[in-house]
Amino acid sequence: MFSRKFFSMVGALAFASTLASCGTPTHQQVGIGAGAALGGVAGHAVTGGSTLGTVGGAAVGGVIGNEVAKPK
């Protein structure tokens, strides 16, 4: 059901999240991280596993997460 590439991507995301969690993140940092994670997964799903689609989705998701989580 899930490919090896998918599990590699999830592992890399978990590793990056672990490294980034060394301090207390701000609300905006959490928004960026969550947006990037969801965008990467969505980009991966929409493009059929394309690396460019995954990275592009993560970038767009991070920008959207940043905008949503900005202090008002």
| Closest residue by Cα to residue 39 from 66, 21, 20 | 66
Contact 57/42 with Cβ under 8 angstroms? yes
pLDDT per position as a tens digit, 46-56:
999 888 999 99
Q: Is the pLDDT of residue 58 over 90?
A: yes
Determine the longest span between alpha carbons in the chain, in angstroms. 42
Query: How many Å apart are CA 4 and CA 53, to the nearest integer?
Result: 17
Whether this prediction's pTM lies above 0.95 is answered by no
Provide the angle, in degrees to the nearest 10, between the axes of the packed helices 27-46 and 51-69.
Answer: 150
